Copies of this chain bind each other. A is one copy, B any other.
Amino acid sequence: MKVNGKGMRSIWLEPDGWSVGIIDQTLLPHALVTTRLTTLAEAAAAISTMQVRGAPLIGSAAAYGLCLALRADRSDAALDDACRILAATRPTAINLRWALEEMRDRLHAVPPAERVSEAYRQAAAICEADVATNRAIAEHGATLLREAWNRKGGQGRLNVLTHCNAGWLATVDWGTALAPIFKAHDAGLPVHVWVDETRPRNQGASLTAWELLQHGVPHTVIVDNVGGHLMQHGEVDLCITGTDRTTSRGDVANKIGTYLKALAAKDNGVAFYVALPSSTIDWTIADGVAEIPIEQRDGTEVSEITGRLMNGEIATVRIVPEGSAVANYAFDVTPARLVTALITERGVCPASSEGLLALFPERRGNEGRG
């Protein structure tokens, strides 16, 4: 998507043909700084310090991390070591493990002399596959937006609410929840996005707002408390969020607070869509509230907040009294009954076992029981 008027991805091969460029996302939205990764250690550090984040992007960054490792040592032992080191950077990201296993299996089958070029080929393929998946989600989702716009009679603007960041910064390009928004905007639909701040890590205010600003999509940042009020007053035409894990019956685990927006959407007759690559579907479970473990993160993410001082410096301030306990749940589960439809790379379907199986018939017979 666009940054300063030019197309940009979240990860790329530098003109030297081997080093890897990334955006240091920890400095957004205050500064756009790109960094060159030249070693396994640099790639691992970029993932663990969240210079790159978002499950699909982490997988791609790890794939390139393997390339950099193999440039230094093409042996089987070095390959396995590199996989271990990269897998340990983030403990829960599914795409990370998937990308590393895919790479390792193929590279073990190739003679050491050919491993570097093969690794770069595969890393590029993983990135391109991610972009293709997201482009398909963009197409299918944009159709829903166009239909909503037509239902609205083509008046005013189409108001879409989103929570957290499921944009191109979390993937290689396009994103998931934001992909249909970029697509519809580029096609001339007057989309306006209500951007939930998304406490405690503020991915909405810092990343989603920045992406939309750079690409020129009209948007307004609101605190997470506002969405219900806007829906009561007809100011939201539809919601789209991403999901970190989707159960076989369509329950979705996404950033904490998604469930509250889905309740408000239901209460006000507003469509609530969830966009996902099918790699996030966990076919082994059905009941998300009962079965998906919810990560609890460090309380300092709640009690401290980082931003830019008036003098331009980046600083962290404490906003909770010393001595008060803090709890930090990272995700919640929105039951399928609150989800209007799922937007996948294969098309749009009801959030139900039957809906998902109609799009993914090869999974019939091995889905979780509800």
Contacts and interface: CB of A to CB of B under 8 A. Distances in A.
Nearest to A304: B307
Contact of A226 (B256, B303, B315): B256
A209 B256 contact: no
B226 A329 contact: yes
Nearest to A227: B260
A319 B302 contact: no
A41 interface: no
A267 B289 CA distance: 13
Contact of A302 (B197, B210, B257): B197
B319 A206 contact: yes
A200 B205 CA distance: 12
Given A199-B197, A267-B263, A319-B305, A326 B221 contact: yes
Given A223-B199, A223-B302, A326-B221, A228 B259 contact: yes
A7 interface: no
Contacts of A317: 305-309, 315-317
A289 B223 CA distance: 20
A176 B309 CA distance: 36
- The residue in A206, A212, A289, A324 that gathers the most chain B C-beta atoms within 10 A of its C-beta is A324
A17 interface: no
A202 interface: yes
Contacts of A197: 199, 302, 319-320
Contacts of A264: 259-260, 263
A308 B318 contact: yes
A112 interface: no
Given A221-B303, A232-B332, A315 B315 contact: yes
A13 interface: no
B260 A222 contact: no
A321 interface: yes
Contacts of A318: 30, 307-308, 310
A355 interface: no
B325 A229 contact: no
Given A219-B325, A232-B289, A225 B305 contact: no
A278 interface: no
Interface residues of A, number: 66
Contacts of A305: 305, 307, 317, 319
Nearest to A325: B220
Contacts of A125: none
Interface string A199-241: 1101001100110110000111111111111101100000000
Interface of A: 29-30, 195, 197-200, 202, 205-206, 209-210, 212-213, 218-230, 232-233, 255-257, 259-261, 263-264, 267, 289, 294, 302-310, 315-321, 323-329, 331-333
Given A30-B321, A307-B318, A308-B319, 17 more contacts: A30-B318, A202-B319, A205-B320, A209-B324, A210-B321, A221-B325, A222-B302, A222-B327, A226-B256, A226-B329, A227-B260, A228-B259, A232-B332, A260-B261, A263-B267, A308-B318, A309-B315
25 contacts: A30-B321, A198-B225, A199-B199, A199-B223, A205-B303, A205-B320, A206-B320, A206-B321, A212-B324, A218-B325, A220-B327, A225-B255, A226-B257, A226-B332, A227-B260, A229-B259, A229-B294, A229-B333, A260-B263, A263-B264, A304-B307, A305-B307, A305-B319, A306-B319, A307-B318
